[in-house]
Structure 1
Amino acid sequence: MTSETRVLYNDTCPVCRFEIDAYRRRALADGLPIRFDQLDQAVDWGLTPDQAARQLHVWQDGRVLAGLEAFRALWSAMPRWRWLARATGWPILRPLTKGLYTYVAAPLLYRAHLRRQQRG
């Protein structure tokens, strides 16, 4: 991989941070050109922090991807995760995994984010 992959994630979300930290450790160990940006860098992506907090975003090959496509791009940039990028692209799994992330996981994590913001 010659081009950089950038990941924009919600660093205030414990679940998101845990998962992204695992990817970051693996990327560092493997010497992969993957950069991890936090919500306060959303404006550099042309997003508000609120937009960025709604789902994962990945910049790759000059495009900003969101949701499951962002995960698939990240996984495809990491040798040990490429199998998951391929599997979630299969015609039967793709709509299922996209639906689970888009309509279940992302909204739940975003609502938890809003609750944390109200308390903080």
Structure 2
Amino acid sequence: MSDTLPSPVPHPADKLVSRPHVVYYNSACPVCDAGVCAMRDRIAEADVEWVDVHRNPERLVPLGLDLEDVRERLHVVDPSGHLQVGAPALLTTWSLQPRWGWLLKPLGWPGIRRLTSWAYVLFARQLYRWNRRQGHW
């Protein structure tokens, strides 16, 4: 019989301390998955926790998020706990990439931000419909 205690199991909240941004994405969408894979290669692991809602839909329950909404648009919870959806979420995630941050600043300017959001919604809606037709769920 051993006198040693088992090592403690880390609490899920402990991971959030070291990963301030939480990105919720859908790996069942080949376009979304490719984009996230490219970003994962460029962003430090300590900066983001990547949550695949296709494989882990239960992770949406504490946030009150709907699975279909996250399948259609990227969702990010930033370090302050603020939920970002769509273009703002994408811009926040892209800005974590060292080489892309400066390039994306103009997309956040007032007039251009509105155009960026509109384009994102249009693209996301069409991509979502295409994924449903293809059976990527």
Q: TM-score, normalised by structure 2?
A: 0.73
Question: Equivalent residue of 1:88, what SS?
Answer: helix
Contact map agreement 1:56 1:67 (CA 8 A) in 2: yes
Pick closer, same or farther for the CA change 1:3–1:36 going to 2, 3 Å.
Answer: closer
Q: After the TM superposition, which of the residue ranges 79-88 and 17-26 deviates more from structure 2?
A: 79-88
Contact map agreement 1:53 1:113 (CA 8 A) in 2: no
Aligned twin of 1:82: 101
Structure 1's consecutive aligned runs of 4 or more residues displaced over 4 angstroms after TM superposition are none
Q: Which amino acid aligns with 1:46?
A: G
**How many angstroms apart in 2 are the aligned matches of 1:84 and 1:18?**
21
Aligned twin of 2:123: 105
Q: Which runs of 5+ in 2 are unaligned?
A: 1-17
- Per-residue CA deviation, residues 19-75 of structure 1 (Å, 9 max, x unaligned), is 110001111xx4542111111233343212112111000110211110111012112
Pick closer, same or farther for the CA change 1:11–1:31 going to 2, 3 Å.
Answer: closer
Pick closer, same or farther for the CA change 1:18–1:44 going to 2, 3 Å.
Answer: farther
Q: Which runs of 5+ in 1 are unaligned?
A: none
Aligned residue-pair number: 115
Identity of aligned residues (%): 33
Q: 1:26 and 2:45 equivalent?
A: no
Q: CA shift at 1:76, angstroms?
A: 2.6
**How many angstroms apart in 1 are the aligned matches of 2:67 and 2:75?**
12
Q: Give the alignment of 1:1-120 within 5 angstroms.
A: 4-27=20-43, 30-39=44-53, 40=57, 41-60=59-78, 61-102=80-121, 104-117=122-135
Q: Structure 1 or 2: larger helix share?
A: 1
